[in-house]
Amino acid sequence: MTLPLVPYPLSVTEHDAPAFRLDDGVGITGDDTCAEQLRRALATVTAGTLGHGEGIRLEIIAGGPAESATIEVSSAGVVVTGADAAGLFYGVHTLVQLVRRDTEGWSIPAVSISDRPRFSYRGVMLDVARHFFDVETVCGWIDRAAALKVNHLHLHLSDDQGWRIALASRPGLTEKAAATAIGPDDGGHYTADDYAHIVAHAASRHMTVVPELDMPGHTHAVGLAYPEVVEHPVITDEVRAAAEEFGGGLPRTGVPYRGLAVGFSSLRISDPETDRFVRDVFTDLAALTPGPYLHLGGDEALGTDPARFASFIARATEIITGLGKTPIAWHEAGAAAGLAAGTIGQYWGFVTPTDGMDATARRFVAGGGSLILSPSDAVYLDMKPEPEFPLGLTWANGHTSVRRAYTWEPSSVIEGIAEEDILGVEAPLWTETARTAADIDALAFPRLAAAAEAAWSPATDTCTERTWESFRTRVGAQGPRWRAQGIHFHASEEIPWA
């Protein structure tokens, strides 16, 4: 039987030999940080404790590809070797997935594994603007994603409904624009210390935080604090329709917006005050963010004239580049002449592109940047997994089954770009309908595992285990451990849960 590994490794060779037995005398030696993480993970899985002897050795031997690892298991012992700290961390997570119970107790099958990621950017996004999530919930989300070898956390920190991070130069944003969320729910925000805590927790799981301040659309909340930089809302038929379907009323200048329409707000473009605002917030954000990227949004600026939109994107990407960071933008920004060279595009069109979204995405590559793939009908974790599911939206081509989340191939989405032009894959979780940590779990699991495999595992045509049948069995085997870890996953009927 295929070993229950998700995401599936580059190469797995099972040996017809006795397993390694996890009995009382077994101990872990080598790299302390990973040893502690493994000890905790094994304690959760086996509900027992290890001894202080030898048996499992963890080591870093520099030289191999970034984030790579090897695992050797025989009845005599286990050796996990990482080419760097991240590689060892991922190797340890693979090892945890190998632990199984037989009639004599817990064991690890005799196997040789060699593993490394397909893409260097493997992301998840959490929208903390539509609903706010506290630091503890964000850290739990980091732990869950990191266990699937995800290494970037994109935080959507601002939207029409609220601004979620305190920035020294613009205190009004959290004093006046952070208290509310969608519906009757309270908002909230991260202090600089909260954000530092999230960044540090992510780093301890080899994850880079990618903060987003969404502009020039999605900026209604900014106007509560700095009305001089925001236009009046543009009420279209779509905005009215969203109010009718989901409630929350129509957006009104100076009043917090609690609905979930999009595309009605815009910064006031080509105004020196706005330019100052954009420079202030990205300068502060850059100072708080050790990672290389700042995300400027750029999506759904439906209320913004295209020429003004283009000039805004050119200016914002120039400001971010000037701060020594690499800009990332949603793919609409690709349409802007003057996009700073090297800007990374995040594609959210469908697996089979419509409306020229692939052409817009290709502009980032032509400009010396690369692409993050987030096809909305495959990896948007906020789409309903089933038609009757209580949480989630349906705009991306109806509901997104686990099977649909799994069966797509990154290199086939945007024609005419090379493997090297794909920085990676990211699964966004927008939170219009998600209010609690349990809601996050129910929408994200098991589909996050499918996105993680698209990001980490070899391409579908080069790996015999990259099939829906193999995946559903391997994911099903994660059930008991996910339960033991307190992950409130949706026990989809598509999966044969163990």
Give contact residues for ligand TNX (rule: CB under 6 A).
262, 299-300, 330, 348, 376, 380, 382, 393, 430, 432
Smallest gap, in angstroms, from Cβ of residue 330 to ligand TNX? 4
Backbone angles phi, psi at 210, to 5 degrees: -115, 100
Q: Which is nearer to ligand TNX, 432 or 453 (CB)?
A: 432
Question: Quick check: helix, strand or coil at residue 178?
Answer: coil
Smallest gap, in angstroms, from Cβ of residue 419 to ligand TNX? 24
Burial 95-132 (b: 16+ CB within 10 A, else e): bbbbbbeeeeebbbbbbebbbbbbbebbbbbbbbbbbb
Q: Which two tokens mark 138? A: 């964000």
Residue 231 annotated among the catalytic residues of the structure: no
Q: Whole-angstrom Cα distance, residue 376 to residue 392?
A: 13
Q: Which is nearer to ligand TNX, 93 or 131 (CB)?
A: 131
On the question of a cis peptide bond just before residue 446, with omega within 30 degrees of 0, the verdict is yes
Taking Cα atoms as reference points, which of 322, 316, 325 lies closest to residue 291? 325
Q: Which is nearer to ligand TNX, 68 or 219 (CB)?
A: 219
Q: Which two tokens mark 150? A: 């995800």
Q: Whole-angstrom Cα distance, residue 410 to residue 274?
A: 37
Instruction: Give alpha helix (H) positions in 52-206.
Output: 85-98, 135-146, 172-176, 192-204
Residue with tokens 């970037």: 152
Q: Which is nearer to ligand TNX, 22 or 129 (CB)?
A: 129
Burial 138-164 (b: 16+ CB within 10 A, else e): bbbbbebbbbbbbbbbbbbbbbbbbbb
Smallest gap, in angstroms, from Cβ of residue 345 to ligand TNX? 11
Q: Which is nearer to ligand TNX, 206 or 490 (CB)?
A: 490
Q: Looking only at Cα atoms, what is the longest distance across the chain?
A: 72
Smallest gap, in angstroms, from Cβ of residue 448 to ligand TNX? 16
Q: Whole-angstrom Cα distance, residue 233 to residue 163?
A: 17
Active-site entry in 300, 386, 453, 465:
300
Smallest gap, in angstroms, from Cβ of residue 298 to ligand TNX? 8
Q: Which is nearer to ligand TNX, 300 or 421 (CB)?
A: 300
Strand spans (E) along 348-443 = 371-373, 422-429
Smallest gap, in angstroms, from Cβ of residue 348 to ligand TNX? 4
Quote the DSSP letter at residue 219.
-
Q: Which is nearer to ligand TNX, 67 or 160 (CB)?
A: 160
Q: Whole-angstrom Cα distance, residue 100 to residue 353?
A: 42
Smallest gap, in angstroms, from Cβ of residue 15 to ligand TNX? 46
Which residues participate in catalysis according to the annotation?
300
